[in-house]
Structure 1
């Protein structure tokens, strides 16, 4: 019944240590040998996602930066949509001077930040990229795939989200990937749009797709899939707006791999 398996990475396929366990690796390879198409869908930069894929020595589709860049099985870029230059400039100016929020930018193969205070939920160890500091008066606002804001001051992030939606509406797609990380991409894309691109490319119906996620940035792809599965450790808001989704195990217990093994292998 299902031919496409779409899976988020952080909080879903990856362990709390941000690794793919030996068990999960084994199950992924078994599923690929059975003929399933697998899509990795993440807010992560494409370079980091390519590293994860290559470490497994597998061929999978990749929806990167929440849909801003999409790659096929041969690592060819099949879709790309950056933020409008004026929109990117507006977004970057919004919280640049707020010391409680880090403004972070993915531009081409670079990662830029305006401050690196650990208290602002800064996690440089999650990326192979080396961050660089940027300054408003000299920064080029073109070719930006994703802007994200991190902080442990959740009230400020929720207020920022409302402000972004109010000011920019359909020009952007703003979602929380975790409570302390608000991610913004072009309004023309999302993980859900990425899934549509790949399913059309393969000529396979979305009803033949089973999708796994744990954050609000997974909502769009979960709601259009034939079967939606969310993690035990999912964002409570995601559970509330997807009451029909099946809640499976925790990412600390190889929840996705255990579920897939029972459903398609054993």
Structure 2
């Protein structure tokens, strides 16, 4: 019986040093022989495909928190952009705040409004080079994600409340990590992407196993038959899903060790 294994990247499959261990590669390669693998990330497609190639597997890719979804042949099967007017207003909302960087994914480009503070955007694995944007001459169409990064978590929590009050279900807003607040269209999410792929493969959600560490993984974990939260996960996620099993941290091969226990240990015939 085929299963779907869905794994977040940062804080989940990737170590805190943005590495994938040889042990993790080995386990995932074993399991993709008879199961379907999904990488589900807030990262841009160009970053996700690079990490997938490091794993040397075929996989579905849910990127930009579900705003872009790709099949096993890298074909785009779902795309949804932020409304242009909403995107413009989102970019204005803290544009002048020097404690917060406003960042944009537009098509295959990455834009930021200032580079005076550390953006902590995993430069060792990103294939993108950012460019600065300004409100006067930027085009606000074809934006798949806007995200706000800051070391001032309190400001980001207040910004989250303000965005929810302004647009409610017209956007999907979540923290990937406490210092990164991400906004996509209301239809886009990792959970929606998992449902879409589940239907395409005709594999029920009860046969889906999902792993995550951030609030942007919440709906994906909720819809999966089996869900697992990393030991290093955001406390808000742990509190929101108190009945979901906590596994080893991302720095201790948590995903791979869990997959070994589920699929391989004492079950050699499953491979």
1:100-154 residue CA offsets vs partner (Å, 9 max, x unmatched):
0000000000000001123455654442101000010000000000000000011
For residue 220 of structure 2, give the secondary structure of its aligned residue in structure 1. helix
Aligned residue number for residue 183 of structure 1: 182
Listed as ranges, the gaps of 5+ residues in structure 2 are 266-271
For residues 4 and 213 of structure 1, the distance between their equivalents in structure 2, rounded to whole angstroms, comes to 14
Matched, 1:70 2:69: yes
SS, match of residue 32 in structure 2: helix
- Partner residue of 2:268? none
Q: Which residue of 2 aligns with 1:144?
A: 143
Q: Distance in 2 between matches of 1:20 and 1:198?
A: 25
CA change 1:110–1:258 in 2 (3 A) is same
State how far apart, in whole Å, the 1-side matches of 2:69 and 2:119 are. Answer: 29
Q: Take 2:125 and 2:77, find their aligned partners in 1: how far apart are those partners?
A: 25
CA shift for structure 1 position 20: 1.1
Structure 1 portions without partners, runs of 5+: none
The match for 2:9 is 9
- The total of aligned residue pairs comes to 265
Q: Which residue matches 2:83?
A: 84
- Following TM superposition, by how much is the alpha carbon of 1:57 offset from its aligned partner in structure 2, in angstroms? 2.0
Distance 1:16 1:122, change over 3 A: closer
CA separation of 1:254/1:204 partners in 2, compared to 1, >3 Å: closer, same or farther?
same
CA distance in 2, matches of 1:125, 1:56: 16
Counterpart for residue 28 of structure 1: 28
Cα pair 1:2 1:209 within 8 Å, conserved: no
Give the TM-score normalised by the residue count of structure 1: 0.97
Q: Distance in 2 between matches of 1:207 and 1:117?
A: 46
Using the alignment, how far apart are the partners of 1:202 and 1:123 within structure 2? 32
Distance in structure 1 (CA, Å) of the matches to 2:119 and 2:154: 13
Pairwise CA RMSD? 1.2
Indicate conservation of the 8 Å contact 1:13/1:256, yes or no: yes
Quote the residue 2:250 is aligned against.
251
SS in 2 for 1:223: helix
Q: Is residue 121–residue 152 contact of structure 1 (8 Å, CA) maintained in 2?
A: no
SS at match of 2:251: helix
The whole-number CA distance in structure 2 between the counterparts of 1:186 and 1:211 is 22
2:126 equivalent in structure 1:
127
- Answer whether contact 1:121 1:151 (CA < 8 A) is retained: no
